[in-house]
Structure 1
Amino acid sequence: MELMESRSDARSRFIPARPAQVFAAMQDPDRVARWWGPAGFTNTIHQYDFKPGGRWLMTMHGPDGTNYPNESSFKRIVRDQLFEIEHLNGHHFVLTLELVPQAQGTQVLWRQTFDSVEHYQRLAEFVAGANEQNLERLAAEVMRVEGAS
């Protein structure tokens, strides 16, 4: 088996909000629809069974109008700490988001792990940019709600 580090995109983002506030943006499908995916994408969520073993079906709509059906399964969920999915169609991967409490907020650790180094390397450049944008959109969604309250 190839080492996880050699077949994963890992990044981190500090969000000046409590882990519970960040987690709230991950468990609410309406909020997920606003932040999920690279910049310019929108989402239609068809099913969001937020529990281990639950299904997540959605269509991502690209800025050029292309639709991307997505099917995932929730693998692990630990309230205010961890969110993990397995993406089942198209490119197979496991995505883990860990929420680490910090003095002034939360460090979000994001790891997208593919089945092989070769598979990851084919997508690495795109995945790096898309994941950075995803984290930016998550932070903006958390702050949008927290700023309004």
Structure 2
Amino acid sequence: MTTEIIKTTPDCEIVSSRIFNFSRELVFRAWSEPEHLKNWWGPAGFTNTFNEFDFRVGGKWSFIMHGPEKGNYPNECEFIKIEKPSIIAWKRFSKPHFQVLATFDKLSDNKTKIVFKMLFNSSEECGKLKPFVVDKNEENFDKLEVELASMNS
């Protein structure tokens, strides 16, 4: 059974985007290859332990995010849409529940725009996270920049 990407209104979405000076193929690899993804996923100071990463529609992504001072945050996800090299989407089984839709737009050979959408079933759920998540998503993109530079060297 496939899971549809939920339809949302702007009050049920958190959207972050950035243009990266790297090829779309390299950016997609940073998101789809666990040896790279684990290096940059999460806000500043966080590290990851990946337990399962089955990169296919219906495949599970199970990992623990380790906070910089304390705390371990289990995450259970399932990939719901993959179109190489333009789309990756997943749904979370861990709370808070939401879906992620990441798109990778080729602007030129070495310029890629990422649009990262967190999709919620209600504006209430979205509103609880929005005050914290926007800055954390930017930190995540900062870490991605570093990983892409190391992959490109």
Q: TM-score range by the shorter chain?
A: over 0.9
Matches within 5 A, 1:72-87: 72-87=77-92
Amino acid at match of 2:17: S
In the alignment, structure 1 residue 88 sits paired with structure 2 residue 93: yes
Q: Is residue 143 of structure 2 the alignment partner of residue 137 of structure 1? A: yes
Q: CA deviation at 1:2?
A: 8.6
Q: Stretches of 4+ moved more than 6 A in 1?
A: none
Q: Which runs of 5+ in 1 are unaligned?
A: none
1:76 Cα deviation from its structure 2 partner:
0.5
Give 1:38's aligned residue.
43
Between the aligned partners of 2:85 and 2:73, the Cα distance in structure 1 is 29
- Mapping for residues 101-120 of structure 1, pairs under 5 Å: 101-103=106-108, 104-120=110-126
1:69 and 1:124 map into 2 onto residues whose CA distance is 20
Which TM-score applies when normalising by structure 2? 0.91
Q: Report deviation, 1:50.
A: 0.2
Paired AA for residue 43 in structure 2: P
CA RMSD of aligned residues (A): 1.5
Q: From 75, 83, 92, give the equivalent of 1:70.
A: 75
What TM-score, normalized to structure 1? 0.94
* C-alpha displacement of 1:3: 4.2
Q: Which amino acid aligns with 1:17?
A: F
Distance in 1 (CA, whole Å) between partners of 2:7 and 2:31 is 30
2:84 is the alignment partner of 1:47: no
Distance 2:24 2:121 in 1: 29
SS in 2 for 1:14: strand
5+ residue gaps, structure 2: 1-5
How many percent of aligned residue pairs carry the same amino acid?
31
The farther-off stretch of 71-80 and 133-142 is: 133-142
How far residue 65 of structure 1 moved from its aligned partner, in angstroms, is 2.3
Report the residue type matching 2:26 in the other structure. Answer: Q
Map Cα deviations across residues 30-54 of structure 1 (whole Å, 9 max, x no partner): 1111111111100000000000000
Partner of 2:18: 13
